[in-house]
Copies of this chain bind each other. A is one copy, B any other.
């Protein structure tokens, strides 16, 4: 694998999922692969799971890890080409990416959507600038429109827990008072559309995801109907794509509760975390055996390890 920015970088999803499951079974089998190699993890935004799981996976593979918070450990980076840099950004990504690429064999980059300018966010400027200038493999640690390490962990989790060969998987919008990016939902759609699952997306009106992500998935505004017979409920809030970055409703009837989970086929509840309890989903659900959010988060280590191994094998 050359980069891991989106699903388009993955030649064989099944093999990558299996590689993650192999890493879980035997974490240190490939420890020689990273010897005397270094990954830089560059965060433009906060992180808990991605920060720790990617570091851990890298160490399992024998890689050295350097972590940097942009704008905190260092200064802000200018992403626009041709600009006169007389503002608050002290360095251009052309230099920063190229230099980091000289110190690191692989770079992981986290840069969330700004949610102000849809075209800019959906152009994936930060990922693309790093890809263009770093001259080393780039791993997406959550970008403006995608979170593929999460999606790969989700696939691994569904493989582990699916009760039937072709499970019904439901992505449901959850209420939240703050505008959040569409990245996790987009990415989940992108990956599920390539999996052998019965995939349904449900959300209130006005929360349609971008067509290139939702693809041919079945979409309904009726959450109950979507939940009916589901094997997996994947909860996530996102702000509107159509009225970009806006919170159109906080309708609490969309919160996942024990009552709603009864509509499912003893379905498992998934969420990428962090999750606001009793806003997006009730304690009752998260504290029940139906919730697999911790196992799902634990699989972030193995999705990162599968990706790192594929990239190291190609260095």
Contacts and interface: CB of A to CB of B under 8 A. Distances in A.
A276 B80 CA distance: 12
Q: Mostly helix, strand, loop or mixed at chain A's interface?
A: mixed
Contact of A74 (B46, B68, B74, B100): B46
B55 A59 contact: no
B28 A103 contact: no
B278 A48 contact: no
Interface residues of A, number: 61
B82 A283 contact: yes
Report how many copies the assembly holds: 3
A98 to B, nearest CB: 5
Given A47-B74, A51-B73, A52-B99, 9 more contacts: A43-B73, A52-B104, A69-B72, A72-B72, A75-B274, A90-B274, A92-B274, A94-B277, A95-B297
Interface of A: 27-28, 31, 36, 38, 40, 43, 46-49, 51-53, 55-56, 59-60, 64, 66, 68-69, 72-75, 78, 81-86, 90-92, 94-96, 98-100, 102-104, 177, 273-279, 283, 286-287, 293-294, 297-298, 301
18 contacts: A28-B36, A46-B74, A46-B75, A47-B74, A48-B75, A48-B91, A48-B99, A52-B104, A56-B103, A59-B64, A83-B277, A83-B278, A86-B177, A91-B273, A91-B276, A95-B293, A96-B274, A103-B301
